[in-house]
Amino acid sequence: MKILAPTELQQVLTELAPASTVAVSGAGGGLLEPEDVLAAFERAFLDTGAPNALTLVHSLGMGNRSDKGINRFAHEGMVRRVIGGHWIWSPAMLELAQRNRIEAYCLPSGALTHLLREIGAGRPGLFTHVGLGTFVDPRQQGGRCNAAATEALVELMQVDGQDVLRYRPFPVDVAVLRGTFADENGNISAVEEPADLDSYAVALAAKRGGGIVIAQVREVVPAGQLRPREVSVPGNLVDYVLVSPDQPQTYHGAYDLRLAGLQGQLDSSSAALPPAPHDPVRQVVALRAAEELIDGASVNFGFGMSSGVAEVIARRGDTGRYWFTIEQGIHGGQLLTGDMFGIAAEPAAILSAADQFDLYSGGGLDQTFLGMAEMDAQGNVNVSHFGGQVSGPGGFIDISQGARKVVFCGAFDAKGSRLAARGGRLAIESHGTVRKLVRQVSGITFSGPEAVRRGQEVVYVTERAVFRLTPEGVELIEIAPGVDLQRDVLDHMDFAPIVRDPKQMSAAYFNEATADADIDAAAVA
């Protein structure tokens, strides 16, 4: 292991062969993102034109929706291909993809994490059910996100008479990761970070192909100071270390040891509770979706509107009734939301992302609450395709395919609707101009027919109607009080659901709240 000054690191990067493959570990909002190393890549390219024509791989979304993270690579000529799990944090890279200036691929975050592990282990790719029936399936888009992406990265196979997907391996030349500490032998510890993510997997993948591993840390400590169980990447896998003494824990602030579980348990009596939402859509959806909670269940919450269910649980003081998990490897604790999603204060356990996705893929999740940008007559859900642009599924596919029960949370329509909840009734003052319950979703991130085949329980919750997936199709099972079934629901859907005898949603969910729901489908997914 060699400790490099920033100028030395930049020189190493300029010497990378053109068309090298760089795998980066990190997650949006600055979670374990090696930002100073990524900035060095950008400076090297802008100063010298090298490295160039890179293939960039990242399992989770990375960046700050502006200039950090994967945005550092969004210069024409710097990258040739991007294989990402989620792109929303990187608008500059999304723009290059939309203009076909790069080959853009979107793969499920868990599948991509596991593929990196398989590459590192020298195995012939990842064989899995994850992605069947979705836009990742080669019978659909095969994970290709634009016209420039033409290579087949995923293939359909049969094993023991069952359909599986094989995610094909590729060589990794450079791995970039981050920790809190490195010792003098190169061992990396993320002990004061909120997650481990896939650091070990990306390092292993690079070493398998004879590549190099670059780690950014806050501090170098003497050999022997790190406890063995605090080491996330052993020193024999690490080539270079960049010391960044001022690195923040996330893009939103300095180190808070509660987020790494290194201080005493939170005093629930003094912990700040999330305020009740004033938006009637979010309020009603969260309260109604919470009806689907199962006592003692292992639960996952997605980003966006579905995280409102976790806020309901916190306000009720019911956190002890459920086992919380999130894809970044976190178990338990007080879940954070917004740009800090993926982090918990005082978690009960922190696993690698690969281990967490093993749990999800193997069916170890009782239920999940996820967003819903679009749904269709087959029960398919889209959260990855917006306005002709593919943003990537993140862990959505891995999670939704593995959970026994899936509860989708979303607004009934978008753009221009105005609603009020008062006196136990929902008043719709104007309907949105964008329909979200469509004949066919723009891209399949969740497959209704596959869910029926797997025997999953699937519920779709909106503020004015609730649906469930049946073998015969999507059934409307509840409507909001004050809502006319034909005028306010069926006339604003592009397909006819099964309607038997829908009951009324609880009037208790419709107290005083009013808002202009000028909702962007991507924002609530």
* Domain extents in the chain: 2-243, 280-524
Say what the pLDDT of residue 301 is. 92
Find the mean pLDDT for residues 318-339.
91
pTM: 0.93
Task: For the beta carbon of residue 457, count every other beta carbon within 10 angstroms.
Answer: 14
Say what the pLDDT of residue 8 is. 97
Q: Which of 103, 327, 374, 450 is catalytic?
A: 327
Report whether pLDDT(317) > 60: yes
Q: At 277, is the pLDDT very low, low, confident or very high (cuts 50, 70, 90)?
A: low
Tell how far CA 17 is from the center of its chain: 31
Residue type for position 327: E
Q: At 31, is the pLDDT very low, low, confident or very high (cuts 50, 70, 90)?
A: very high
Say what the pLDDT of residue 522 is. 38
Compute the chain's Rg from CA coordinates.
23
Say what the pLDDT of residue 270 is. 38
Tell me whether residue 472 is one of the annotated catalytic residues: no
The per-residue pLDDT for range 79-138, each reduced to its tens digit, is: 999 999 999 999 999 999 999 999 999 999 999 999 999 999 999 999 999 999 999 999
Find the mean pLDDT for residues 485-509.
96
CA dist 29 and 63 (Å) reads 6
Say what the pLDDT of residue 259 is. 95
Give me the percent of the chain exceeding a pLDDT of 70.
Answer: 95
Asked if residues 45 and 70 have their Cβ atoms less than 8 Å apart, the reply is no
Find the mean pLDDT for residues 299-316.
90
Find the mean pLDDT for residues 406-420.
95
Q: What mean pLDDT value characterizes the chain?
A: 93
Say what the pLDDT of residue 440 is. 96
Tell how far CA 337 is from the center of its chain: 13
Say what the pLDDT of residue 518 is. 43
Q: At 278, is the pLDDT very low, low, confident or very high (cuts 50, 70, 90)?
A: confident
Phi, psi (degrees; rounded to nearest 5) at 209: -95, 10
Report whether pLDDT(408) > 50: yes
The per-residue pLDDT for range 173-224, each reduced to its tens digit, is: 999 999 999 999 999 999 999 999 999 999 999 999 999 999 999 999 999 9
**Which among 280, 315, 309, 285 has a CA at the least distance from the CA of 422?**
280
Say what the pLDDT of residue 279 is. 86
CA dist 148 and 419 (Å) reads 42
Place of tokens 């989620």: 86
CA dist 304 and 88 (Å) reads 13
Find the mean pLDDT for residues 250-262.
93
CA dist 199 and 216 (Å) reads 11
CA dist 369 and 305 (Å) reads 9
Say what the pLDDT of residue 269 is. 36
Asked if residues 41 and 74 have their Cβ atoms less than 8 Å apart, the reply is no
Say what the pLDDT of residue 387 is. 75
Say what the pLDDT of residue 517 is. 44
Tokens standing for residue 516? 């202009």
- The DSSP secondary-structure symbol of 276 reads P
Say what the pLDDT of residue 276 is. 58
Strand partners, 76: 79
> Is the model more confident about 385 or about 153?
153
Give me the percent of the chain exceeding a pLDDT of 90.
Answer: 88
Class of the domain covering 2-243: alpha beta
Tell how far CA 29 is from the center of its chain: 12
Say what the pLDDT of residue 364 is. 96
CATH superfamily of 280-524: Glutaconate Coenzyme A-transferase (3.40.1080.10)
Residue type for position 265: Q
Q: At 274, is the pLDDT very low, low, confident or very high (cuts 50, 70, 90)?
A: low
The continuous run of DSSP H or E covering 294 comes out as: none
Strand partners, 157: 164
280-524 shares the fold of 2-243: yes
What is the side-by-side strand order in the sheet with 188-189? 219-221, 181-183, 188-189, 231-233
CB environment 218-253: b (16+ within 10 A), e (fewer): bebeeeeebeeebbbbebebbbbbbbbeebebbbbe
Asked if residues 266 and 317 have their Cβ atoms less than 8 Å apart, the reply is no
123 vs 94, 98, 171, 232, CA distance in Å? 31, 33, 12, 22
Report whether pLDDT(426) > 50: yes
Report whether pLDDT(9) > 60: yes
Asked if residues 336 and 408 have their Cβ atoms less than 8 Å apart, the reply is no
Q: At 391, is the pLDDT very low, low, confident or very high (cuts 50, 70, 90)?
A: confident
Find the mean pLDDT for residues 488-506.
97
The per-residue pLDDT for range 41-89, each reduced to its tens digit, is: 999 999 999 999 999 999 999 999 999 999 999 999 999 999 999 999 9
259 vs 131, 302, 336, 350, 443, CA distance in Å? 32, 19, 10, 10, 35
Least confident of 200-209, 230-239, 276-285, 456-465: 276-285
Report whether pLDDT(388) > 80: no
Find the mean pLDDT for residues 366-395.
92
Asked if residues 466 and 375 have their Cβ atoms less than 8 Å apart, the reply is no
Find the mean pLDDT for residues 262-282.
60
